[in-house]
Structure 1
């Protein structure tokens, strides 16, 4: 069954659009360099607004353990942590001492088959995500609007639920699903009219194309 995650949301109006259109996962970025950044107070407010209508994720880049623990304690409606960068399993265990139910998604940046992680590494997490490897001049670890050769995913076995991300939009998501073999897609910049500005029509069009 195909699943859509809309990432980088910042307000209730776009949350409603995403939910009404069929998104089952919603992402909220806490990373100050990102145009999609939300403060922790807003994170708690927005994920509480979503409630149990969708899986809610906080998206973090190379976070310190102290930040993860703060989120675990104070943002009770966050259901999962999506981590870009190293995520030692010891960190997962520390967070789960506070929130045993917290899910973890490890994001991997790929450009070629040599970038694939080991099965042992992936098996430590609840979900994994494959995004395009940032270019040297990119300021963000994800959400840069670039894609990679989706076909390389066809020969790679993933035993965890996994999302495909990177450069997806309503015009190419069906081909991305076909070429990669994924059933789960994640989009951020591909449903925006400007960096960090979500567009309701683009959200609707993307979800309709992905779920078609």
Structure 2
């Protein structure tokens, strides 16, 4: 079984095409204004029109209001919503109920205690995304290119499918999968040639490396 791969922060046709051609399972569009990868809903809708149905379209939001979600969904049909802020399990439930879409909940990790705390979301989110916990002074919760100790994920025994993120690159993704037991991986900055600018060659190389590495239980 090969790992599932999500390429996040896409904003250009060539990088989206590279992700699809190389076999990405998920593609992510960032709707967080502070991110250098933020995209307008209208632009994301144009890109999404060219996607095959088997590639799942994920919208990334940080502590969104219902109005924030409505404003994006009015332009773009998404397959999944990714909540990458401080959303509580109750907020995850409310979003799932209100919008009828699966939710990926991102959880910051730096210690084994953070992994254990993620169980609070185990019966609420459809997927969990384990990312490196950002520094206290960070202006955004992800996309910072920082890894965390991947072996910490060997302590995860929840039932929710999960993705590994944080500092992944074409060069280290196979080692990350081996160390963590991840069955799915997510990358953004690790396949860029400049901040916010994806490199089609690195996207293809990342997907090839991840798919060749095998996968864990998910």
Alignment-derived partner of residue 40 in structure 1: 41
**1:86 deviation in Å?**
3.0
SS at match of 1:128: strand
Moved more, 83-92 or 168-177: 83-92
> In the TM superposition, what is the alpha-carbon distance from 1:136 to its structure 2 partner?
2.5
Cα distance change of structure 1 residues 99 and 113 upon mapping to structure 2, 3 Å threshold: same
Residue by residue over 1:135-189, the C-alpha shift from the partner in whole angstroms, topping out at 9 and shown as x without a partner, is: 1332221010000000011021131110000000011100100000001000000
Match of 1:113 in 2: 112
Q: Does the 8 Å contact 2:112/2:155 carry over to 1?
A: no
1:51–1:208 distance in 2 versus 1, CA, 3 Å: closer
CA distance in 2, matches of 1:40, 1:153: 34
Distance, in Å, in 1 between the alignment partners of 2:176 and 2:68 is 34
- Show the 5 A alignment for 1:101-180: 102-116=101-115, 117-180=117-180
Distance in 2, matches of 1:136 and 1:169, equals: 24
* Structure of higher RCO (CA pairs closer than 8 Å, 6+ residues apart): 2
For structure 1, the residue ranges without an aligned partner over 5 or more in a row are none
Counterpart of 2:49 in 1: which secondary structure?
Answer: helix
**Residues of 1 paired with 2:8 and 2:118: CA distance?**
26
Which residue pairs with 1:16 in the alignment?
Answer: 17
Structure 2, unaligned runs of 5 or more: 213-218
Change (3 A) 1:88 1:69: farther
Q: How far 1:206 moved relative to its partner?
A: 0.7
In structure 1, the residue corresponding to 2:205 is in which secondary structure? helix
TM-score, normalised by the number of residues in structure 2: 0.89
Aligned length: 210
